[in-house]
Each structure stands twice: as structure tokens, then as C-alpha cells.
């Protein structure tokens, strides 16, 4: 096989982000950072790699297995590429800021995972998170949940549901027993999966586990649903002081969140990183988990400062997948010319927030940069003022809506074909992708020649969408074979 045939391929479940999705991701990033800033959160930017001891101390085996490791060529020490940003922010709060009162910090950047947490997910999430340090009361938990809901609603998602639990309930049932870390992890997994048989087998292997604790763990498998679950838990779990406090916190949080989203409980669900120490929550919408967070009071202890902490995080790449594509914005197309009046008019338009695309010499009939919706020939003219230039471009936007729509559909479908090829395993789909090249070239020719008649272009877009569906089905069958 020639070397060029695989030079474009990326590792499995790693993909380039192409223009339409990149534009949407950047808009989401700005939206979330602005939302966090409105609550008083300050932006921090931890490095992508650190010494492995700093990244993983006290975070549990799951995060260790998710972390890429390499050797520093300068010091010879082992470094890690972060798989989660929370431990880094805890280090910043403990050592660099070292504030006495409450500190609100947020971040947004890529993380890397050795394995994706679910099929067809990326191994390079774009993680946004917000964390509040220095307050032990449930008000910090509530603020984290409300900020997450505000941000998700601002993206246009409705009918959100917040699912809550508390790590202290299971911890209290297992208190006083010596359980190996591997068995404890398996018990947590059996609880989350509602696997009664596996849970019985695991608890039977723990010799010093009291019968009341075994029965309590089995009872947790049935404790999921609405707020009435908390009353049932008080009756059936024989709660101690810690469990009562956890149940009261959950009731208090539910009473404040119910007006903003639906609330449910699953007291056996402990999914998430090992550093969670109290209330944990997940937010669902559009049939997917969109955000996850909770309380992690112990996360800063390894850095010499054990401060209460709560927060949440989400993957913007996962979020963009459940949102509809963003519409193209009208742009002004201007000719290339060394003309002072034209340059002044273009500069004024750009200063007012318009996108102005200068058509380079020789590309007048092929130009389609910046998502310009104006038809060829409606440009900023030499010697014209900014208002006239805008008018010449936008006066025919309504007339050319059909052409713009099918151009956008063809362009984004091409990008989706490429993204699916990368995410589902480029080597398996290489030949199928080559078969699409002829269609891509035909669409490119159509896009250059299409003026006001765009019926054939819409048909081409539909053909490409059908090919995309066929490509997905074929790729999944091959992957499962």
C-alpha cells in the first residue's frame, strides 16, 4: 500500500474538527465562559501535561487508566497528559491562589483519554468545568447545579432532568469493613448496573460485612425515582447521622432545583471519579447525559490543603452533537482592489461586526469563503460607502435562500462524512471514502456553476445524506464483525 494512502488517517476515535462544527464549538465555549463569569467564576488555564504524581495522587484507579503517560526528555520523570482538569484546578487553588475565603474557578480546554468512555465517543473531549472552593454547605452544590442548568438552557436545550445521589450513603453502609479497592470498585459497578446477583456474590466475599449492611446495599437497588424515594430510604436503611444528613441535603437541593428542571434520584448510582465525597449529580437532556458534577471535599488534601469543593464538568464536543446545526450568517463579498475608499468601507463593516470576504484575483467565480449568502456580483463596490456595500450584498439574501441552504447542506454533509470516517476507524473506511470522491468533485463543480437554479444541488445534498447513512451502517457492521 502506498505511503500516501494512510497519511491522512488519525488514531481511532480521534478526529479533526471541521469549520461548521468548529464554529459551533467556539460559540458554545464563549457562551459557557460568559455564563460562568456572570456568576463570578475566574478563568484558569492549567497545562496539558504535568508530573504524573500531581495528576493522579488521590484520584483513583479509573483516572489512572485513562491517562496517557510519557517520559520527560529533560528530567527523566514520568509525565501525564491530563484526562480530567479538576485535580489541576485543586492544585491551583491550594498552592498558587491560597485564598482564605471562597474561590470560584472555571476552565475550558482539551483532555485526552486512553479509551473512550462509550462507543463512538471521542478520546479528546473539550472539557468545560466550574468549581467553587471554600464552602462546605449545600449552597455551593446548588450553585454548581444552577450554573450547569443555566448554561444548558442558553444553548437551547429544554426538558432537562437532574439525577442526584450521595456517596456518603454507600460509604456509611460499608464503614468499618476492610474491602480491597478492586472489590469496592466492583460493588459500585454492580450497584450502578442494578445487578443483584453480582452484588450478592461480591458482598458474600467480604467476610466482616454485617448482615444489616448487606441488606442495606440490596435495598439501594430499588431506591430510584422521584422525591418519595428519600422518604422510603429513611424508613428502610436504618440511617445513621451521615445518611440522615445526606438525605436532608438531597431534599433541600431538590426543593430548590424543581422549578428549573425535573428532579430524580438513584441512590445506588456512584458513577464518576473516585474523588467524589458527597452529593453527586448528572443532568440529562435530548436522551443523553450532558453534564456531571458533585462534591469532592478531599480532592485538595494531597496538595496540603483540604478545602471543601463542589462543581461540574461537561464535554462540549458531546454537547454539540445533540444540538441542531447553526445557520450560516450573511456575509459581504468584496472585490480585491488597492483602493482607499473600498478599504475604508470594508474596515467600517468589519468594525460593525459584519464578515467581509475579499475575493482574491482569479477566484471570482469560485469564491465561497466565510459562509457568504450573497449571490456572485453583489459585492462592496469601489468608491461605495459601507451602507451601500452591505445593501448590495444583503438585498438578494432572501432571493438566494434555497441556494444558500443546499450549499450549506452539501458542505456540512461532506464534513460529516469525513468526521464519521475518522471516528469509526479510518483504515476500515478508506476505500469507501475514496468511492465518495467522484460525488464530492461533482458537487464542487455544481457549487461553482450554481447561480439561481439549485434544484440539482438539493438533490446532490440528499444523495450525499443517503450515502452518509449507508456509510454509518456499513462501518458499524464491519466494526462488530
pLDDT in tens, 96-122: 898 889 999 999 999 999 998 887 889
The confidence score (pLDDT) of residue 300 equals 78
Matching residue, cell 495528576? 55
- CA-CA distance, 333 to 90, in Å (whole number)? 48
The confidence score (pLDDT) of residue 148 equals 97
Q: Round the average pLDDT of the chain to a whole number and report it.
A: 79
> What number is the average pLDDT over the span 383-412?
40
Structure confidence by residue, pLDDT tens digits, 138-151: 999 999 999 999 99
> What number is the average pLDDT over the span 5-31?
89
> What number is the average pLDDT over the span 22-39?
96
The confidence score (pLDDT) of residue 471 equals 54
Backbone angles phi, psi at 211, to 5 degrees: -60, -35
CA–chain centroid gap for 227, Å, is 29
The confidence score (pLDDT) of residue 420 equals 43
Q: Is the pLDDT of residue 310 over 80?
A: yes
The confidence score (pLDDT) of residue 331 equals 87
Q: Is the pLDDT of residue 301 over 60?
A: yes
Helical ranges in 361-400 per DSSP H: 386-394
The confidence score (pLDDT) of residue 368 equals 53
> What number is the average pLDDT over the span 441-449?
41
Structure confidence by residue, pLDDT tens digits, 244-265: 899 999 999 999 999 899 999 9
- CA-CA distance, 263 to 224, in Å (whole number)? 11
The confidence score (pLDDT) of residue 444 equals 42
The confidence score (pLDDT) of residue 292 equals 95
Higher pLDDT, 415 or 13: 13
The confidence score (pLDDT) of residue 209 equals 86
Structure confidence by residue, pLDDT tens digits, 59-87: 666 788 899 999 999 999 999 999 999 98
Please report, in angstroms and rounded to a whole number, the separation of the first and last CA atoms in the chain: 23
Q: Is the pLDDT of residue 377 over 50?
A: no
Q: Which of 156-170, 183-197, 398-412 has the highest mean pLDDT?
A: 156-170
| pLDDT > 70 in the chain, percent | 73
| pLDDT > 90 in the chain, percent | 44
Matching residue, cell 450515502? 467
Cβ atoms within 10 Å of 100's Cβ, excluding its own: 6
Given the candidates 3.40.50.300, 3.30.930.10, 3.40.630.10, 3.40.640.10, the CATH classification of the domain at 10-321 is 3.30.930.10
The confidence score (pLDDT) of residue 322 equals 92
Structure confidence by residue, pLDDT tens digits, 180-209: 888 888 888 899 889 999 999 998 888 888
Structure confidence by residue, pLDDT tens digits, 342-362: 999 999 999 999 999 999 988
The confidence score (pLDDT) of residue 282 equals 95
The tally of CA atoms less than 13 A away on the side-chain side of residue 132 is 25
> What number is the average pLDDT over the span 274-296?
91
Q: Is the pLDDT of residue 376 over 80?
A: no
- CA-CA distance, 210 to 175, in Å (whole number)? 10
- CA-CA distance, 466 to 176, in Å (whole number)? 60
CA–chain centroid gap for 388, Å, is 42
Amino acid at each position: 500500500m502506498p505511503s500516501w494512502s494512510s497519511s491522512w488517517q488519525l488514531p481511532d476515535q480521534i478526529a479533526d474538527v471541521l469549520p461548521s462544527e468548529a464554529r459551533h464549538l467556539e460559540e458554545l465555549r464563549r457562551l459557557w465562559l460568559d455564563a460562568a463569569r456572570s456568576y463570578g467564576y475566574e478563568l484558569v488555564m492549567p497545562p496539558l501535561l504535568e508530573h504524573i504524581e500531581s495528576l493522579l495522587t488521590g484520584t483513583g484507579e479509573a483516572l489512572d487508566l485513562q491517562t496517557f503517560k510519557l517520559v520527560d526528555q529533560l528530567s527523566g520523570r514520568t509525565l501525564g497528559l491530563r484526562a480530567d482538569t479538576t485535580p489541576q484546578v485543586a492544585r491551583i487553588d491550594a498552592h498558587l491562589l491560597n485564598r482564605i475565603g471562597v474561590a470560584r474557578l472555571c476552565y475550558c480546554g482539551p483532555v485526552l483519554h486512553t479509551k473512550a468512555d462509550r462507543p463512538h465517543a471521542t478520546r479528546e473531549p473539550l472539557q468545560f468545568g466550574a468549581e467553587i472552593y471554600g464552602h462546605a454547605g449545600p449552597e455551593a452544590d446548588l450553585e454548581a447545579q444552577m450554573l450547569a442548568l443555566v448554561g444548558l438552557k442558553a444553548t437551547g436545550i429544554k426538558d432537562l432532568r437532574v439525577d442526584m445521589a450521595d456517596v456518603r450513603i454507600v460509604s456509611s453502609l460499608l464503614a468499618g469493613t476492610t474491602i480491597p479497592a478492586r472489590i469496592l470498585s466492583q460493588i459500585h459497578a454492580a450497584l450502578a448496573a442494578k445487578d443483584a446477583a453480582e452484588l450478592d456474590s461480591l458482598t458474600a466475599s467480604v467476610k466482616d460485612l454485617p448482615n444489616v449492611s448487606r441488606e442495606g446495599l440490596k435495598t439501594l437497588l430499588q431506591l430510584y425515582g422521584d422525591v418519595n424515594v428519600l422518604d422510603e430510604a429513611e424508613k428502610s436503611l436504618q440511617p445513621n447521622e451521615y445518611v440522615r444528613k445526606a438525605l436532608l441535603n438531597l431534599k433541600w437541593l431538590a426543593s430548590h432545583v424543581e422549578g428549573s428542571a425535573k428532579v430524580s434520584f438513584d441512590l445506588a448510582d456512584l458513577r464518576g471519579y473516585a474523588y467524589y465525597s458527597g452529593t453527586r449529580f448528572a443532568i440529562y437532556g435530548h436522551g443523553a447525559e450532558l453534564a456531571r458534577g458533585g462534591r469532592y471535599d478531599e480532592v485538595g488534601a494531597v496538595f496540603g490543603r483540604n478545602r471543601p469543593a463542589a462543581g461540574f464538568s461537561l464535554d462540549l464536543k458531546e454537547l454539540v452533537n445533540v444540538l441542531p446545526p447553526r445557520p450560516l450568517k450573511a456575509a459581504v463579498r468584496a472585490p480585491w482592489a488597492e483602493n482607499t475608499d473600498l478599504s475604508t468601507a470594508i474596515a467600517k463593516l468589519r468594525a460593525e461586526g459584519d464578515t467581509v470576504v475579499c475575493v482574491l484575483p482569479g477566484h471570482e467565480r469560485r469564491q465561497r469563503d466565510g459562509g457568504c449568502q450573497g449571490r456572485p456580483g453583489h459585492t462592496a463596490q469601489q468608491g461605495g460607502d459601507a451602507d451601500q456595500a452591505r445593501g448590495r450584498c444583503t438585498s438578494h439574501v432572501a432571493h438566494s435562500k434555497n441556494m444558500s441552504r443546499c450549499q450549506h447542506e452539501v458542505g456540512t454533509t461532506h464534513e460529516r462524512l469525513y468526521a464519521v470516517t475518522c471516528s469509526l476507524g479510518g483504515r476500515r473506511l478508506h476505500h469507501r471514502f475514496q468511492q465518495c470522491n467522484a460525488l464530492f468533485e461533482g458537487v464542487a463543480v455544481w457549487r461553482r456553476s450554481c447561480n439561481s437554479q439549485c434544484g440539482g444541488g438539493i438533490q446532490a445534498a440528499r444523495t450525499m445524506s443517503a450515502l452518509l447513512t449507508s456509510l454509518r451502517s456499513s462501518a458499524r457492521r464491519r466494526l462488530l464483525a
